[in-house]
């Protein structure tokens, strides 16, 4: 029988290595190989925190504690339990990292990550993140507008969509090997080009002022705050400009439950559960932590309706879920 | 004096049973619930404590339900006879299901009755879960000596509903996951195996001791 009581070897929140030590460990691991590469990093010395400018697009809501953001998330390449990414993602090598840009672009190439975002100012974007499962967080991302990256590769006029792909590397991603695998790999996602170009859409390379932890999609991931979290694809290795609506992983798994758009919408329920409310991770309900915390109402487009609703004028949001 | 002590023993017998081993089983069986509530109240259930608590209680309900149905097959396959623990195990399943439902209604939904009712009607996995619980109620109420005597032969028929409750509970578990991970399927497989065993048994002509 499978008994899942947290056992003595599981880390308690209080035991989680603090941020500086944790990043120190990664630097140590990277150290030997990265000595020469360090000079090429876009944000100076490895140990330095990312310097990012504040953004008017940030929310002023209280960010979810770092330990929750980095220990509770879905990244099925590392296992289907929400604790698995934090447990298993330390094996991922994120340097060197190439992002292939192809399709309808004038400058297709296998870009080194550093070149792809070089000289684009890093911004801190504190965004709400709403998971399709009914929980949410507030995350201080550090990243660059996707539009700036796209400008660099010069999309052609015929490009209407942008398709994304996550790394496939079973030797470093335990969810991609073995008899039971949750999904078809690579994980793929896509946006309409106008969604991709929207100022809110970013490619994140950090959170809480430091480089992205592996479990959160290092070294580079998409963040589209008005869509359910699974649209914000992690550890991106390929971006393809295309004139056809790309296949997306969850819609391929279960087209009845997950559509291409997947905009946060309290009025359009998941076929199996309501999307009207959400549990905000990190909320405190009195002196007993999160146990007695109340749900929040979910907002249309995750509260970003003012900025993005015009993208969907005339579109039936129920039919295009 | 004598009457009061007799009353007390009747009461504790109703709650915990007279058999010290069975009392131990009740106490051991409730330990996960006590631990999870303790961890929840002391902030040790991680980022999403409501969800962890709710799921743990539901999972223990399903485990006890399966264990209660496994007692007869275990005996018939040559294992030890654990019949005297069956009622306790079945009741533990009911207690966990009741706690699971309570956490869902009070902590998760904040006793928002219209939303709970909408859930039960509109969300098939919740409908199925409620069905499992609704079945367990009469089974728990009739899990005592006086009710067994009163119901006579009907008691056995009534308690066959435990299979329906187990199947509904296993389905409830499968229906709430996004992909097809192993765990819910393992539980569903166990319930299916128990059900098949029971069906095969009832189809087989019985050996009558009278013939020997």
From chain B, the residues in CB contact with A276 under 8 A are 115
| Residue ranges of chain B whose CB lies within 8 Å of a chain A CB | 32, 35, 39-51, 53, 56, 59, 63, 107-110, 115, 118-119, 122-125, 175-176, 178-183, 186
Alpha helices in B17-48 (DSSP H): 20-41
* Domain boundaries, position A308: 49-312
How far apart CA B62 and CA B170 sit, in angstroms, is 7
Please give the mean pLDDT across all residues of chain A: 89
Which of B48, B122, B178 is nearest residue A279 as measured by Cβ atoms? B48
For the domain that residue A186 is a member of, what is the CATH number? Answer: 3.90.420.10
* Rounded average pLDDT over A70-84: 95
How far apart CA A238 and CA A80 sit, in angstroms, is 23
Band (A132; pLDDT cuts 50, 70, 90): very high
pLDDT at A284: 87
Is residue A131 a part of any domain in this protein?
Answer: yes
pLDDT at A47: 45
- Whether residues A290 and B43 touch (CB distance < 8 A) is answered with yes
From chain B, the residues in CB contact with A12 under 8 A are 44
| Site from A2, A3, A272, A288 to mutate, B interface, most B CB atoms within 10 angstroms | A272
Lowest mean pLDDT of A119-123, A311-315, B95-99, B197-201, name the range. Answer: B197-201
- Whether residues B40 and A182 touch (CB distance < 8 A) is answered with no
Closest by CA position to A264, among listed A234, A308, A233, A221: A308
Closest by CA position to A41, among listed A120, A118, A111: A118
| Site from A78, A291, A292 to mutate, B interface, most B CB atoms within 10 angstroms | A291
pLDDT at A89: 97
From chain A, the residues in CB contact with B35 under 8 A are 5
Q: What is the pLDDT of residues A221-256, one digit of tens each?
A: 999 999 999 999 999 999 999 999 999 999 999 999
How far apart CA B12 and CA B18 sit, in angstroms, is 8
- Whether residues B43 and A82 touch (CB distance < 8 A) is answered with no
For chain B, the structural domain boundaries read: 20-199
| Site from A76, A270, A290 to mutate, B interface, most B CB atoms within 10 angstroms | A290
Copy the structure tokens of residue B130.
């409620």
The Cα of A68 is separated from the nearest Cα of chain B by a number of Å equal to 5
Q: Which residues contact B58 (CB under 8 A, 6 or more apart)?
A: B96, B97, B100, B129, B169, B172, B173
Band (A7; pLDDT cuts 50, 70, 90): low
pLDDT at B209: 54
Contacts of the segment A274-277: beta carbons below 8 A, 24+ positions apart: A274/A134, A274/B115, A274/B118, A274/B119, A274/B122, A274/B123, A275/A132, A275/A134, A276/B115, A277/A134, A277/B115
Is residue A15 a part of any domain in this protein?
Answer: no
Extended beta strands in chain A, E state: 98-103, 109-112, 123-130, 135-145, 161-166, 188-192, 202-207, 210-211, 221-223, 236-242, 277-280, 296-297
Is residue A19 a part of any domain in this protein?
Answer: no
How far apart CA B119 and CA B113 sit, in angstroms, is 10
Which of A6, A72, A180 is nearest residue B182 as measured by Cβ atoms? A180
Q: Does residue A190 contact residue A163 with C-beta atoms inside 8 Å? A: yes
Contacts of the segment B81-90: beta carbons below 8 A, 24+ positions apart: B84/B19, B84/B21, B84/B22, B85/B21, B85/B22, B85/B25, B87/B17, B87/B143, B88/B17, B88/B22, B88/B25, B88/B26, B88/B29, B89/B25, B89/B29, B89/B64, B90/B64, B90/B65, B90/B139, B90/B140, B90/B143, B90/B162
Which of B41, B108, B181 is nearest residue A288 as measured by Cβ atoms? B41
Which of B41, B110, B115 is nearest residue A294 as measured by Cβ atoms? B110
How far apart CA A110 and CA A241 sit, in angstroms, is 14
From chain A, the residues in CB contact with B48 under 8 A are 72, 82, 135, 279, 281, 290
| Site from B37, B47, B59, B89 to mutate, A interface, most A CB atoms within 10 angstroms | B47
- Whether residues A288 and B43 touch (CB distance < 8 A) is answered with yes
pLDDT at B180: 72
- Whether residues B178 and A133 touch (CB distance < 8 A) is answered with yes
The Cα of A58 is separated from the nearest Cα of chain B by a number of Å equal to 23
Per cent of chain A over pLDDT 90 is 79
Q: Which residues contact A121 (CB under 8 A, 6 or more apart)?
A: A52, A53, A144
pLDDT at A212: 97
Residue A33 has pLDDT above 50, yes or no: no
Q: What is the pLDDT of residues B159-211, one digit of tens each?
A: 999 999 999 999 999 998 877 768 899 999 999 999 999 999 888 776 555 44
Chain A's closest residue to B40, CA to CA, is A291
Chain B's closest residue to A1, CA to CA, is B63
How many beta-carbon pairs under 8 angstroms link A with B?
92
From chain B, the residues in CB contact with A277 under 8 A are 115
- Whether residues B107 and A291 touch (CB distance < 8 A) is answered with yes
Residue A10 has pLDDT above 90, yes or no: no
Q: Which residues is A105 bridged to in the sheet?
A: A155
Band (A287; pLDDT cuts 50, 70, 90): confident
Is residue A31 a part of any domain in this protein?
Answer: no
- Whether residues A76 and B179 touch (CB distance < 8 A) is answered with yes
From chain B, the residues in CB contact with A288 under 8 A are 40-41, 43
Q: Which residues contact B204 (CB under 8 A, 6 or more apart)?
A: none
Lowest mean pLDDT of A19-23, A188-192, A251-255, B110-114, name the range. Answer: A19-23
Residue A30 has pLDDT above 60, yes or no: no
pLDDT at B176: 85
Cis peptide before A186 (omega within 30 of 0): yes
Residues of chain B with confidence (pLDDT) below 50: 1-2, 210-212
Q: How many domains does chain A have?
A: 1
Band (A99; pLDDT cuts 50, 70, 90): very high
Is residue A11 a part of any domain in this protein?
Answer: no
Copy the structure tokens of residue A229.
């979290």
| Site from A3, A4, A6, A266 to mutate, B interface, most B CB atoms within 10 angstroms | A6
């Amino acid at each position: 029988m499978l008994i899942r009581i947290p056992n003595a070897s599981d880390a308690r929140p209080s035991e989680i290595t603090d941020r500086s030590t944790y990043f120190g460990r990664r630097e140590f691991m990277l150290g030997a190989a990265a000595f020469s590469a360090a000079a090429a990093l876009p944000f100076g010395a490895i140990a330095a925190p990312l310097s990012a400018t504040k953004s008017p697009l940030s929310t002023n809501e209280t960010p979810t504690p770092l330990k929750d953001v980095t220990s509770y998330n879905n990244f099925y390449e590392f296992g289907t339990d929400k604790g698995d990414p934090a447990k298993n993602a330390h094996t991922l090598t994120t340097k060197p990292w190439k992002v292939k840009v192809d399709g309808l672009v004038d400058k297709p190439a296998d870009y080194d990550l550093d070149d792809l975002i070089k000289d684009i100012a890093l911004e801190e974007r504190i965004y709400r993140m709403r998971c399709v499962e009914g929980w949410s967080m507030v995350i201080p991302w550090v990243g660059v507008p996707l539009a700036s990256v796209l400008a660099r590769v010069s999309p052609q006029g015929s490009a209407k969509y942008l398709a994304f792909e996550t790394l496939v590397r079973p030797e470093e991603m335990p969810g991609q090997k073995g008899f039971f695998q949750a999904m078809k790999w690579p994980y793929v996602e896509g946006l309409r080009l106008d969604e991709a170009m929207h100022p809110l859409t970013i490619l994140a390379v950090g959170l809480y002022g430091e480089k992205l932890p592996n479990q959160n999609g290092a070294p580079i991931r998409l963040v589209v705050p008005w869509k359910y979290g699974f649209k914000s694809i992690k550890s991106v290795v390929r971006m393809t400009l295309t004139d056809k609506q790309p296949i997306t992983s969850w819609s391929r798994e279960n087209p009845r439950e997950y559509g291409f758009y997947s905009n946060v919408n309290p009025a359009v329920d998941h076929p199996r559960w309501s999307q009207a409310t959400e549990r905000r991770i990190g909320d405190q309900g009195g002196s007993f932590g999160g146990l007695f915390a109340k749900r929040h109402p979910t907002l249309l487009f995750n509260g970003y309706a003012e900025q993005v609703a015009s993208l969907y004028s005339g579109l039936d949001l129920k039919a295009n879920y | 004096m004598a009457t009061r002590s007799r009353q007390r023993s009747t009461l504790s017998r109703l709650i915990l049973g007279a058999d010290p081993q069975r009392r131990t089983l009740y106490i051991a069986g409730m330990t996960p619930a006590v631990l999870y509530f303790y961890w929840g109240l002391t902030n040790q259930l991680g980022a999403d404590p409501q969800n962890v608590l709710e799921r743990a209680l539901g999972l223990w309900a399903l485990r006890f339900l399966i264990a209660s149905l496994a007692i007869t097959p275990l005996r018939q396959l040559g294992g030890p006879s654990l019949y005297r623990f069956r009622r306790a195990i079945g009741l533990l399943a009911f207690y966990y299901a009741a706690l699971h439902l309570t956490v869902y209604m009070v902590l998760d939904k904040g006793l928002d009755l219209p939303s709970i009712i909408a859930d039960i009607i509109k969300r098939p996995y919740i409908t199925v879960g409620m069905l499992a619980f609704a079945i367990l109620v009469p089974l728990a109420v009739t899990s005592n000596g006086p009710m067994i005597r009163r119901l006579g032969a009907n008691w056995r028929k009534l308690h066959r509903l435990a299979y329906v409750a187990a199947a509904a509970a296993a389905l409830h578990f499968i229906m709430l996951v996004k992909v097809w991970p192993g765990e819910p399927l393992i539980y569903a497989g166990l319930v299916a195996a128990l059900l098949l065993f029971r069906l095969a048994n009832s189809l087989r002509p019985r050996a009558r001791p009278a013939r020997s």
